Amino acid sequence: MIRYLAKRAAWSLLILLGVSAITFAVNFVIPSDPVALIAARSATKADRDRLRHELWLDRPVIVQYGHYMAGVLQGDLGRSYKRKTQVAEQVAARLPATLILMAAAISFELLIGLPAGLFAARRRGSSADKTAMTLSFIGVSAPQFVTGLILFYVFAYWLNLLPTGGFGGVSHVILPAVTLGIAGGGWYSRMMRSSMVDVLRQDYIRTARAKGLDERSVVLVHAFRNAVLPIVAMIGLDVGIFMSGVVVVEQVYGWPGIGQLMWQAIQDRDIPIIMGVTLTAAIFIVLGNLLADVIAPLIDPRIRLR
Amino acid sequence: MATSWTRFRRDKTALAGLTVIALIVTAAALAPWLAPFDPSFQSADGLTEDGSPVPPNSEFWLGTDLLGRDLLSRMIFGARNSLIIGLVANGAAVLIGTSLGVVAGYLGGYVGAALMRFTDLVMAFPALLLAVALAAILGSSLWIVAAVIAMVNWVQIARVIYTETTALSSRDYIEAARALGAGTPRILLQHLIPHLLPTVLVYGTLGIATTVLLEAALSYLGVGVQPPDPSWGGIIFESQSYFLNAPWLVFFPGVAIVLVALSFNLVGDALRDALDPTQRGRT
């Protein structure tokens, strides 16, 4: 178990190293002249040269990367081009709001996705199954900015039931979390259904039924525990999809998280912020995957053997 | 193939999806003849007296946008951009993903492991954020947007193809071909890839949905297809500050995006059932 976890953790670190190499490349190598992006139009040649030196851009790429990594390890993600503030400070200030939203959205998608998948698998082939799966496809096919704007229009503006945006009590988190959760709920219901269909075919389910157990405990106790396993592994991937969705949804509802920071940075073409948020998001994705790796063997001891 | 088509035909929702796709492709192809107005024409009666967009009426079926341009015409021309990007970007992603998956799966060993670890790395990146960063730096033309989407979207198909290739490579008939003296290119092209085509077709179709959604999101973030060229995500981006007064500017392009993505998803899903009956009803 310890070996397994150590291996997974080492692998996560390696992935993060790779990710940082890519964010570094996007920051400093791909733009033909980063200084041109940063310097004011009125800057003289001497100004530009000084800036180039300050950013270490006059040194070999490998030295630049070393400098960048040393910074990242100390929590330094560089300075924003536009606001001249530390990227790391901005990200840290906005991260809690995003994490609250993430917790609410993931709870919501599991709350609608798992029961819907369970229900569809039990009634496989029926018209209820067909309807549930078509609905889940609509959820998956709707871009979050469309869902977001429409929910906003109906519930916040037209019916005036929920706040139009911003940060505050529980009522503020409902619309953004539902918007993010609709697509995810669609995925979970499809995954849950196919996983459940597989499990319900197994011999031990037939045995459980043959013993005379009532259908409720066969489905909820025997089948569900095994069927939910692949779903746990998906939560890691889900963090990635979530981190992309948050940019759009936070903007729609004015939620003050890293997504909104990203949105503003995109409009300003403020590359250090964009890459800082991307790196932060990648860290969460890697952590999400690691967490799934840790939880999976706790639910299913067979995994430890691998 | 004939029996696959029979099976596919039984799926009513997939047929509906196919119809929607056919209609939108036709509309996009015939855009200059079908669209009632030029997409960038600012009509004199396209704005009300106080300068706001006109709601849907008999002249402008879907209303007008903030500059008094006909929304229907912009959406028909926008369909071109969405579909071109959908096909080009997804085509490239399928090509990259399939080649990588086949090579990694067939060669196995260190090369295979290294290639698959590389896909893990790209997977750890939030696709939209990476695409946004690349598009922001490289500028946004139609082709750059397509290239950026291809660069982040090949991963899933690479993994699926890798798994299938690994399974196929250990089959006896591959061993037999090798024993008969067939070289690697011959085995790949003649014995492996034909068996992978159904999977490529299924994931290629599903991938168009993902690509259309990604393109819409990029345009909505302002780094996709640039104005005055119309794109569905771009129309929503331009109009959102005004959308409480002119909800049709968000609603119609939004529905168009959902319809296209949904149709490709339904068709892809039905193709999977039709081409591989053992998977029927599982996913």
- Model confidence pLDDT, tens digit, residues A194-216: 888 888 888 888 888 888 888 88
Q: What is the predicted pLDDT for the residue at B2?
A: 61
If you measure CA to CA, which chain B residue comes closest to A18?
B121
pLDDT of res. A32 = 60
Q: Which residues of B touch A267 (CB under 8 A)?
A: 222
Q: Which two tokens stand for residue A247?
A: 């940019």
**Predicted complex ipTM:** 0.82
Whether B237 and B230 have beta carbons less than 8 Å apart is answered as no
pLDDT (tens digit per residue) in A221-271: 888 888 887 787 777 667 777 888 888 899 888 889 999 998 888 888 787
Per-residue pLDDT, B65 = 81
The reported pTM is 0.86
pLDDT of A306 higher than 50: no
pLDDT number for residue B278:
58
Alpha-carbon span B230 to B252, nearest angstrom: 14
Question: Tens-digit pLDDT profile for chain B (283 aa)?
Answer: 567 778 777 778 889 999 999 999 999 898 888 888 888 778 777 777 777 887 887 777 788 887 878 888 899 998 988 898 889 999 999 999 999 999 898 888 888 888 888 888 887 777 788 788 777 777 777 888 888 888 888 988 998 898 888 888 888 888 888 888 888 888 888 888 888 888 899 999 999 998 999 888 888 888 888 777 888 888 888 888 888 888 888 899 999 999 999 999 999 988 888 887 555 544 4
B107 in contact with chain A, both atoms CB, cutoff 8 A: no
Between chains, do B136 and A137 touch, taking CB under 8 Å as contact? no
Do A149 and B138 lie within an 8 Å CB cutoff? no
Query: What would the two tokens of residue A48 be?
Result: 């530009």
Give per-residue pLDDT as tens, A74-130.
877 777 877 778 888 888 889 999 999 988 998 999 999 999 998 888 888 888 888
Across the A/B interface, how many CB contacts are shorter than 8 Å? 139
- How far is the alpha carbon of A267 from chain B, nearest alpha carbon, in Å? 7
Out of A22, A141, A262, closest to residue B265 by CB? A141
Contact A150 B251 (CB under 8 A): yes
Please state the length of chain A. 306
> d(Cα B272, Cα B65) in Å, to the nearest integer?
40
Note the pLDDT of residue B90. 93
CA closest to A251 among chain B residues: B221
Q: pLDDT tens, A22-40? A: 878 877 766 666 676 666 6
pLDDT tens track for A104-119: 998 999 999 999 998 8
Contact call for A30 and B283, based on CB within 8 A: no
Enumerate the residues of chain A whose CB falls inside 8 A of the CB of residue B133: 26, 271, 274-275, 278
Strand partners, B64: B70
If you search the block for the tokens 């993505």, which residue do you land on? Answer: B261
Distances (CA, A) of B83 to B93, B174, B208, B283: 15, 38, 9, 26
CB contact under 8 A, B243 and A30: no
User: Element (H or E) spanning A90, and its range?
Assistant: helix A87-122
B123 inside 8 A of chain A by CB? yes
Tell me the C-alpha distance between B152 and B100, whole Å. Answer: 14
> In this complex, which of B127, B243, B262 lies closest to A149 when CB atoms are compared?
B243
Chain B residue numbers with beta carbons less than 8 Å from the beta carbon of A30 are 134, 137-138
Residue A305: pLDDT band with limits 50, 70, 90: low
Alpha helices in chain B (DSSP H): 2-10, 12-29, 31-34, 71-107, 109-123, 127-138, 142-153, 155-169, 172-179, 184-186, 193-220, 232-239, 248-275
Which residues of chain B does A281 touch, with a Cβ-Cβ cutoff of 8 Å?
A: 126, 129
- C-alpha to C-alpha distance for A130 and A128, rounded to whole angstroms: 5
Question: How far is B231 from chain A, CA to nearest CA, in Å?
Answer: 14
Mutation test of the interface with chain B: which of A197, A231, A244, A270, choosing the one with the most B Cβ atoms within 10 A? A244
Token pair in block for residue B176: 């037999």
Quote the CA–CA distance of B183 and B194 in Å, as a whole number.
16
Q: Closest CB to A271: pick one of B120, B124, B136.
A: B136
| Interchain contact B236–A (C-beta under 8 A) | yes
**Amino acid at residue number B21:** I
Show residues of chain B in contact with A275, CB under 8 Å.
133
Stretch A13-20: mean pLDDT: 84
Pick from A240, A261, A144: which is nearest to B220 by CA? Answer: A144
B99 vs chain A: nearest CA distance in angstroms?
22
Average pLDDT taken over every residue of chain A: 82
